Amino acid sequence: MATRAVAERWLEQLTSIPTASGLEHGVIEWVEAWAARRTDLKLTRDSGGNVLIRQKGRAKHPPVLAVAHMDHPAFVVVGVDGKEAAFEFRGGVNPEYFDRAVVDFPSSGASGRVASYEAKTQTGVISLTKGEPAPGEIGVWRLKKGRAKKDRLQAPACDDLAGCAAALAALDKTRGEPSLRHFGVLLTRAEEVGLVGATHAAKNKTIPEDSRILSIETSRELPNARIGNGPIIRIGDAVTVFDQELSNRISHGAARSGVRFQRKLMDGGGCEASSFGVFGYRATGLCLALANWHNRGNLDDFEAGTGDPVPMMEEISISDYHGLVDLLVVAARVVDEPTGLADRFGAAYERTRQILD
């Protein structure tokens, strides 16, 4: 079982891997190597390239799957002509962040500056200042770091590689307990361009229909959902509300366990729980509050018209990350335990129903 230090190392490694929708190979290679070192796990890939990791042996309960996505908003080269590289951008970022932004291509070592960007088509041109990237290569923002703070991780791609790291760390914790063999991990592709990998998995029944989904995200920090206040049980997103009973069981189990957590509606964007839910799966959400969502530094000030758009490292709380790992393990334990709410409300009714006479 991984120590906290080892789980942090996985977090740091995964959140530094260049990745993009449809080009998640770097993350997949890391995950495949991780799983190969654990002979009690079985890794498979579905027809859409999503990665499913299950524990070997007979499980006593239907699957509980921690789901996270392996892509992050990024530039993808579609052609090179002399000192210009044409690109498409896969993910959602305000067009103002592209103005003269510096872009690095880690695979080739090339770099350049955005010369033009068309928001409607999410395409543009980079004026190359060093080297030449290959078509299909991933480009990443040259990111500024914010002021260093205690208990914070600043990294290029917390969304959602921090979720991937937490899911794997939780799986590593549950491996030695036969009663938790139902817990597994599904890592999806192309979330940033429309929940594509998750929808593929849901429509094609990559996972059993009785699976319970714990959709993990890093979600934009909100005034009532702050970084450092614990991982968040996410009861809904900008698209849907999530499974009531599943959310309640996890909330009650977390409260009994002593894990510090928040329970919030995180409606800054959509997440994969919505896709699984509309295709018939029981799904709820867990997340980490995130600063500089999609590498958009000064986002609140920029939206208020009081700050400049500056590409920056994303930022999460390390203690929130460890709390999320613990919360995932708690969730795996309690999703089949009733909350007792029906008995509680029923008893209250019996005590006071005469007031209706």
Supply φ then ψ for residue 79, to 5 degrees.
Answer: 180, 155
Pick from 213, 324, 328: which is nearest to 271 by CA? 213
Q: 284 in a domain, yes or no? A: yes
pTM of the shown model: 0.96
Q: Are residues 137 and 159 in the same domain?
A: no
Q: 355 in a domain, yes or no? A: no
Q: Are residues 280 and 213 in the same domain?
A: yes
Q: Are residues 232 and 281 in the same domain?
A: yes
Output the domain CATH number for residue 37: 3.40.630.10
Pick from 31, 312, 316: which is nearest to 156 by CA? 312
Cis amide bond preceding 99, omega within 30: no
Q: 346 in a domain, yes or no? A: no
Place of tokens 């590409």: 311
Among 141, 164, 194, the domain-final residue is: 141
Output the domain CATH number for residue 113: 2.40.30
C-alpha to C-alpha distance for 270 and 1, rounded to whole angstroms? 33
Q: 351 in a domain, yes or no? A: no
Q: 249 in a domain, yes or no? A: yes
Q: Are residues 102 and 232 in the same domain?
A: no
**DSSP conformation class of 23:** B
Among 117, 141, 165, the domain-final residue is: 141
- Determine the pLDDT at residue 296: 97
- Determine the pLDDT at residue 266: 94
Q: How many domains does the chain have?
A: 2
User: Containing domain of residue 90, as a range?
Assistant: 74-141
Q: 347 in a domain, yes or no? A: no
- Determine the pLDDT at residue 148: 76
Q: 179 in a domain, yes or no? A: yes
pLDDT of the chain, 357 residues: tens digit per residue = 789 999 999 999 999 999 999 999 999 999 999 999 999 999 999 999 999 999 999 999 999 999 999 999 999 999 999 999 999 999 999 999 999 999 999 999 999 999 999 999 999 999 999 999 999 999 999 998 877 789 999 999 999 999 999 999 999 999 989 999 999 999 999 999 999 999 999 999 999 999 999 999 999 999 999 999 999 999 999 999 999 999 999 999 999 999 999 999 999 889 999 999 999 999 999 999 999 999 999 999 999 999 999 999 999 999 999 999 999 999 999 999 988 899 999 999 999 999 998
Residue count of the chain = 357
- Determine the pLDDT at residue 273: 98
Q: Are residues 259 and 119 in the same domain?
A: no
Please state whether beta strands 84-90 and 262-265 pair in parallel, antiparallel, or not at all (unpaired): unpaired
Question: How many Å separate Cα 217 from the centre of its chain?
Answer: 3
Contact (Cβ atoms closer than 8 angstroms) between residue 315 and residue 237 = no
Q: Are residues 110 and 151 in the same domain?
A: no
Contact (Cβ atoms closer than 8 angstroms) between residue 111 and residue 83 = no
Place of tokens 């977390």: 254
- Determine the pLDDT at residue 205: 97
